[in-house]
Structure 1
């Protein structure tokens, strides 16, 4: 399925991060931040927070004062047949931490073979996942997950999806006009979370941010009861900050 031509912020971040990881892996004895900046062409103002993120995720470690080497997480992810299991475990651990920090159920969704699929999630007694009373595959036009995935498709891709999954009204807030839906998707800024304010289910609000790297289309999302809607914006901002390391895990 074709993607919109402009890359998302997550995609750009992942490409820069991969460049940094490649540079560090080429220096087995460790490499300084200044050398990484020279070899990657990234300005120090961008590189410093990226290295902090990679350290917190375990992808790099500070081997000596001022020098960086490959971390345990990256070594584990490269261990042959165990790679997929290691990636899933790392994503699940990240989702669990994110659930606890934002106080909401969180999800990773992918657009696979023309369908919306929730691939992993983390919920709990105080952060219940949304009641999937209608399969998410049939609700892309109404859910934050679905709309976020559709923003990453071109118009032909969206039309193909809606030709197979007709627009249906779920609540009084559901968009039922294809023209209006496409207009909202086209005007959605890449850096702003996609929201679902009781469009899929009465009593539930959701947010989603893209996880785009290469040809893959995915998103990171959260849901919470409508009585917690006053926390949605801050929770969505936290979700956005977690997008780049999550996209990196999916890419590796």
Structure 2
């Protein structure tokens, strides 16, 4: 083990335990370090941005805070991935999670298995929201201005013979969609694939979860997405963790 690294990490942990900061002498005493050693390491950590010094007290610096934020994000990702895997196994279908953020459709997590593979992204999901259930579910949650802005940037295009053909038809469909009901599409994005999505309430952010199935299993689509909706309903509080991933 590299002793200087171990000592520096002990100092970081000690500073983190003092919300209102701590002086070098206290930190040296609590970590069992000689004061000259503690001073040297503290100056180095301040120089590198992991600590900051204010009126003789040491606090966590921006670099350490970035590490903490990254760790929290990874933990949230792991939590969401675990939930999706749990629902995937219970339903027997791949599960998708996406949000509409910054004017774009973001697919944040997909959980599938070799036996139940996810739909192949043969056309960019961000640009083809009009064709797949997740995109339609997200667009239905936007206000008119945001929805039209999206369609101006990503016009409706026919991907299969079943895809909606024009903006007007799509907008009428989006207006008819029940806010809390499932959105279904059958082979509009990809031939041989059917999909259903449900909206997720995450404050002002539009979010959705979805499943897909082979077209020959289309009779399973509604029961499966209703099961997903019930599973999410039991764990609504946990979904709040996902918004910042």
Q: TM-score, normalised by structure 2?
A: 0.67
Q: Which of residues 123, 131, 149 in structure 2 aligns to 1:160?
A: 149
Mapping 1:217-236, distance limit 5 Å: 217-236=206-225
> CA offset at residue 245 of structure 1?
4.5
Q: Deviations over 1:72-127 (max 9, x none)?
A: xxxxxxx8663222211111011001111111111111112211111111011111
Please tell me whether Structure 1 or Structure 2 has the larger radius of gyration of its CA atoms.
2
With over 3 angstroms needed to count, the CA separation of the structure-2 counterparts of 1:110 and 1:156, relative to structure 1, is same
- Distance (Å, rounded) in 1 between the aligned partners of 2:69 and 2:123: 38
Q: Which of residues 110, 117, 129 in structure 1 aligns to 2:118?
A: 129
Q: Hey, which bits of structure 1, 4+ residues long, moved more than 4 A? A: none
Give the 3-state SS of the residue equivalent to 1:228 in structure 2. Answer: helix
- Distance (Å, rounded) in 2 between the aligned partners of 1:100 and 1:226: 20
With over 3 angstroms needed to count, the CA separation of the structure-2 counterparts of 1:174 and 1:98, relative to structure 1, is same
With over 3 angstroms needed to count, the CA separation of the structure-2 counterparts of 1:140 and 1:216, relative to structure 1, is same
- Distance (Å, rounded) in 1 between the aligned partners of 2:238 and 2:104: 21
Give the gaps of 5 or more residues in structure 2. Answer: 1-67
Mapping 1:54-203, distance limit 5 Å: 82-203=71-192
- Distance (Å, rounded) in 2 between the aligned partners of 1:81 and 1:227: 42
With over 3 angstroms needed to count, the CA separation of the structure-2 counterparts of 1:251 and 1:138, relative to structure 1, is closer
> CA offset at residue 158 of structure 1?
0.9
RMSD between aligned residues: 1.7
Aligned pairs, how many? 174
Stretch moving more, 183-192 or 129-138? 183-192
Give the gaps of 5 or more residues in structure 1. Answer: 1-78
CA contact (8 A) 1:211 1:246 kept: no
> CA offset at residue 241 of structure 1?
1.8
Give the 3-state SS of the residue equivalent to 1:124 in structure 2. Answer: coil
Q: Which residue of 1 aligns with 2:240?
A: 248
Mapping 1:23-34, distance limit 5 Å: none
- Distance (Å, rounded) in 1 between the aligned partners of 2:83 and 2:139: 25
- Distance (Å, rounded) in 1 between the aligned partners of 2:69 and 2:119: 35
With over 3 angstroms needed to count, the CA separation of the structure-2 counterparts of 1:148 and 1:134, relative to structure 1, is same
Higher relative contact order (CA 8 A, sep 6+): 1
- Distance (Å, rounded) in 1 between the aligned partners of 2:145 and 2:239: 25
Q: TM-score, normalised by structure 1?
A: 0.65
